[in-house]
A and B are shown apart, each in its own frame.
Chain A
Amino acid sequence: METIYLWIALAPLIGSIIAGLFGRQIGRVGAQSATITGVAISFVLALYAFKVHVLDGGEVFNGTVYTWLASDLFTFNIGFLIDNLTAVMMVIVTSVSLMVHIYTIGYMAHDEELWPETSRARAGGYQRFFSYISLFTFSMLMLVMSNNFLQLFFGWEAVGLVSYLLIGFYMNRESAIYANLKAFIVNRVGDFGFLLGIAAILVYTGSMDYHEVFKQASQLAGIQVELIPGIEWSLISVICILLFIGAMGKSAQIPLHVWLPDSMEGPTPISALIHAATMVTAGIFMVARMSPMYELSEAALSFIMLIGAITAFSMGLLGIVANDIKRVVAFSTLSQLGYMTVALGASAYSAAIFHLMTHAFFKALLFLAAGSVIIAMHHEQDIRKMGGLRKFMPITFWTSMIGALALIGFPGFSGFFSKDAIIESVHASSLPGADFAYWLVLLGVFVTAFYTFRMIFLVFFGKERMDKHTREHLHESPWVVTVPLVLLSIPAVMIGWVAIEPMLFGDLFKDIIVVKPSHDVLAQVGSHFHGAWSFVLHGLMSPAVWLAAAGVLLAWLTTMQFPVVAQQAEQRFSWLSRLLKNGFGFDAFNTIVFEKGSLGLGRGLWKWSDLKLIDGFMVNGTAQSVGRLADVSRLMQTGFMYHYAFVMIFSVLAIMTWVLFF
């Protein structure tokens, strides 16, 4: 089995290397075949691993593949931990990645039109893109398959790097460069916390291995540390919150969410793959993986739940005023990530993973559908300039509908099961702040339905508001685009029915996800659970479904029936609209405080400390004295042999005198 796991991870890497290093030689077709073959191999093997572990209940694999570094204090290994959780994640990652790979053939077909004629990056952009997304798949697999924190961190940084490269894929655009820098820097803030957390684990447990650390977790809970003199903190809370700060960066939770909307600068396939389905869920996965530690810290759980709830609600609000089709979907991603985080905080880790899975499918679907619309609209992304596309693009329309219904939690669709489970779990939770979180996520359902269907109505229904030239060329996308849409819409509908019972209430994640009995909200939810069908029926009577329906209705009224109302509302509450359009002012705040502040600080340090003290005195001073020393020492090298011989003899004499008489 070890070889199979190794191939799952390495096949995309090999594809990526081929496409990346030899892209020019093998051309477009070569690059796409190489990478798709790699990911396909990975997908098939991941399915096999899924069968072995999940369906046949195979043994958990936990082994070291390679010892990277061994010292007396620590051993850094590269290893795999393959259990049901990993198997599920592997299938999600590889299947979405495979769909995206195929879709990319169509989406990037006319990529060179988007580059300026003179750009050196124009040639080979297609191959580069394939290389990046395969490299991403490799990194993500390394992240989920890891059995230790070091490799987790490697995967964590590697996906961040690829994300950076892909957001700035059109490196000639100023906005893309801004966005990728923003993503990188904001993630650095998160990673700082993450790295501190890992370091704390290493210091206190002396190990990087998950199992070893989990074994010692209960001892950690007993330790108190003083970060600020006088105030004692529980060590486990400190570690958990530090790790979660890393997750906040990667999974875009308030206030580290600011990079995700901007990341839509990247080509749409990667928005689907990286910024919706997989990478951004790494934080969720990580917290679920670390559940044996998080369970020990109620403070951390409460913190997570609050952050998640605020993200879920407020980011949904931003979706209402967004007009760029990809940004609308991006805000919905933020909001859904908030839902997953809330579930984590409520100790419903399985529900979070469940929502992660359903979300991966329907959000990838929505993104790819949005991409399909964008292709048809000749890279016009403003939904106010669309409309009536239903007639021209039936497949895209129907798959989008499926995605949208899944997103708002329409009973029977996959999103319904996962989201309802989360809401019920939060309702059942008794942690501090759970009530507040419950109301926020419930209201969030209404908001989600509203902005989602506002987008659907504006894009696919009503008057055709695009210009004449575009309208004449409207047609359905090619099969490489539509086939992934259709294939993704199947799990978007079905997966909830199949997976809810084993994942939430069965023992799929037994011993992998650990929940304290006092926190076990899913067990409470599960006590009312009598099969998927009754869950749907029960859902029909819950407030969430009615709120969603209300949202759809409101969307219909404001966009289709009485657009005037929307305009008037916008005028009357212009302060609110401005607040939302500015994303609650997070960007402005960051610009003023962090950007200007750090620039000022940097300038000051540069002028006073760097130029004067370090450069003037220490660096140049040292360099000069070393240089002088070098010149003097060089004089000793006279080139005369008898000088050398004399130095030798004299040294022997000096050493002899020293050794014998001192």
Chain B
Amino acid sequence: MTLDALNLMPILPEIILLVLACSILLIDVFMRAGSRDVTYWLTQVSLVVIFVAVLSGMSMDQRLSFEGSVINDGLSDVMKLAMILMTSMAFALSRSYLKDRDIHKGEYYILGLFGLLGMMIMVSAYSLLLIYLGLELMSLAMYAMVAIHRDDIRSSEAAMKYFVLGALASGLLLYGMSLLYGITGSLDIAVIRQAVLGGEIPKIALLLAMLFMLTGLVFKLGAAPFHMWLPDVYDGAPTAVTLYISAAPKIAALAILMRLFGDGLIGILADWQMLMIVFAVASLFIGNVVAIAQTSFKRMLAYSTVSHVGFILLGVLAGTADGFSAALFYVLSYGLMSLGGFGIITYLASRGIEADQLDDLKGLNDRSPWMAFILLILMFSMAGIPFTLGFWAKLAVLQAVVEIDLVWLAIYAVVMSVIGAFYYLRVLKMAYFDKPLITGMPVRSLDMRWVLNGTGIAILILGLFPAGLVALCAQVF
């Protein structure tokens, strides 16, 4: 390829994002400390701009560029739109929280934008090199964000754990990738796919490569037994950062899981399926059972994330188009629910009150019936009560699992959800039937209120009318 033939259009949104992020970085440096709101609004505007950029180029066709190392298709476009939206929502829900803790720094938004850039690179990546670089860009931004409250010992500890364990996982992933490169001779997933399907390469080396890559990736997703960082990081990080890292990055991680395994290594489906079953079973167990013993709402949500990741893996391990679209549907609904859940914490938290313990939610109905109602929708949806968004997501995943004749796995997942329903409903019991320990509600900015209300209403409406989103998720595969 010569430079003349270089077509930058496929990565236009990424380029725009990079340019805007660098501009905001510069503007932020020259702003006075008290005017971080300008950075915030500039960030939101940039997100709107790249949203439009992605939307205008959206198409369900598969378009390869950069010698086949970049892929744009329905999956990448839908995921990018969702990630941009969720990042924007996370920012809106975080601002007041950061202000109350005197960590309202421009870097939060700037690192967030760079992290988003990494995620967008990940979902469009079709070569091992890009996958890895995107992943590292995203991770690096997130490590730094977790440490943003550097005077808080918990925040620093969480960042340290995240960084070291994340580096370990990256090492595993990279080692697997290098093995894969060694035995297939290519970094491109399309070539790898052909090589694996051809069956010429030694199976056992392929298995070793697959094993290392899979463990590295499920670490990023937070599946058991590689989940141990997740509760500590989610709990230790400032809630504003937890909001950010809990939603969009999961989508990006799912994307590379689907590209790498669902596409590149589809030839050895049976082998990675087996491993994913182990991870999914372990995640569902750990996520649902350990969550019961938590007294912190934030930590409980972190464990519930582990169980949701288990469900996402169930969708992926089916290895069918139905399974992938179910996993996509699940991750999108999970992202919304997670934003809502952590968003409630940032909403209720005020200066000096962290509001992340279960006790802080007691009597929420007396303090604000509307907020309690949003909590109700969220908890019902996370528990998968029929006719909520979470129910359809779980149903789709289970259907995909049943279709590949793993009925026992579906039954196991249902049993675990039932156990999980206990701790979701306990939250509601506290919110509706207990006496409040705190009175009054913090006054919140308009954008924050709109985003949180919108999240709740969106989950409600999508639960009643899921067909559109389901169809979209089915269309991209």
Contacts and interface: CB of A to CB of B under 8 A. Distances in A.
Interface of A: 66-72, 623, 626-627, 629-631, 633-634, 636-637, 639, 641, 643-645, 647-649, 651-652, 655-656, 659-660
In the complex, the 10 A-B pairs of residues with the closest C-beta atoms, listed nearest first:
A630-B293, A644-B228, A651-B225, A630-B292, A633-B290, A67-B467, A634-B293, A630-B289, A641-B161, A652-B215
A659 B211 contact: yes
Contacts of A659: 207-208, 211, 271, 274-275
Given A66-B465, A623-B422, A652 B211 contact: yes
A644 B292 contact: no
B283 to A, nearest CB: 12
Contacts of B229: 644
Interface stretch (B165-173, B255-263, B346-354): B165-173
Contacts of A644: 161, 165, 228-229
Contacts of A67: 467, 471
B311 interface: no
B466 interface: yes
B160 interface: yes
Interface in B405-441: 419, 422
Contacts of B471: 67, 70
Main secondary structure of the interface of A (DSSP, over half): helix
Interface string B357-380: 000000000000000000000000
A66 B467 CA distance: 8
Nearest to B466: A69
Nearest to A656: B211
A633 B286 contact: yes
17 contacts: A70-B470, A72-B403, A627-B292, A630-B291, A631-B293, A633-B286, A634-B293, A637-B290, A641-B161, A648-B165, A651-B215, A651-B225, A652-B172, A655-B211, A656-B208, A659-B274, A660-B208
Given A630-B292, A631-B293, A639-B232, A648 B226 contact: yes
Contact of B289 (A69, A629, A637, A645): A629
Contacts of B228: 636-637, 643-644, 647-648
Interface in B210-228: 211-212, 215, 219, 225-226, 228
Interface string B213-249: 0010001000001101101100000000000000000
Contacts of A655: 211, 215, 275, 278
Contacts of B289: 626, 629-630, 633
A633 B288 CA distance: 11
B204 A660 contact: yes
A634 B290 contact: yes
Contacts of A637: 228, 231-232, 290
Contacts, number: 86
B231 A641 contact: no
Contacts of B212: 652
Contacts of B164: 641, 645
Contacts of B271: 659
Contacts of B419: 626
Given A67-B471, A648-B168, A659-B211, 20 more contacts: A69-B392, A70-B471, A626-B292, A626-B419, A627-B293, A633-B293, A634-B293, A641-B165, A644-B161, A644-B165, A648-B165, A648-B215, A648-B225, A648-B226, A651-B215, A652-B211, A655-B275, A656-B211, A659-B207, A660-B204
A69 B467 contact: yes
B127 interface: no
A660 B164 CA distance: 28
B124 interface: no
A626 B416 CA distance: 11
A659 B215 CA distance: 13
B433 to A, nearest CB: 18
A652 B204 CA distance: 16
Contacts of B278: 655
A421 B449 CA distance: 63
Contacts of B139: none
A626 B232 CA distance: 22
Interface string B290-331: 111100000000000000000000000000000000000000
A645 B470 CA distance: 39
A66 B461 CA distance: 14
B403 to A, nearest CB: 8
Contacts of A631: 293
Interface in B265-291: 271, 274-275, 278, 286, 289-291
B282 to A, nearest CB: 9
B16 to A, nearest CB: 36
Contacts of A639: 232
B470 to A, nearest CB: 7
Contacts of B184: none
Interface in B100-116: none
Contacts of B208: 656, 659-660
A365 B292 CA distance: 60
Contacts of A652: 172, 211-212, 215
A71 B271 CA distance: 28
Interface string B455-469: 000000000011100
Nearest to A67: B467
B160 A641 contact: yes
B399 interface: yes
A637 B437 CA distance: 29
B211 A648 contact: no
A75 to B, nearest CB: 10
Nearest to B322: A72
Nearest to B161: A641
A623 B292 CA distance: 10
Contacts of A648: 165, 168-169, 215, 219, 225-226, 228
A139 to B, nearest CB: 16
Nearest to B231: A637
A71 B278 CA distance: 27
Nearest to B162: A641
B120 to A, nearest CB: 28
A71 B165 CA distance: 41
Contacts of A645: 164-165, 168
Nearest to B215: A652
Contacts of B219: 648
A135 to B, nearest CB: 16
A20 to B, nearest CB: 16
Contacts of B231: 637
B412 to A, nearest CB: 14
Interface in B104-140: none
Contacts of A634: 290, 293
Nearest to A631: B293
User: Which residue among A68, A623, A641 has the maximum number of chain B CB atoms within 10 Å of its CB?
Assistant: A641
A637 B278 CA distance: 20
Contacts of B465: 66, 68
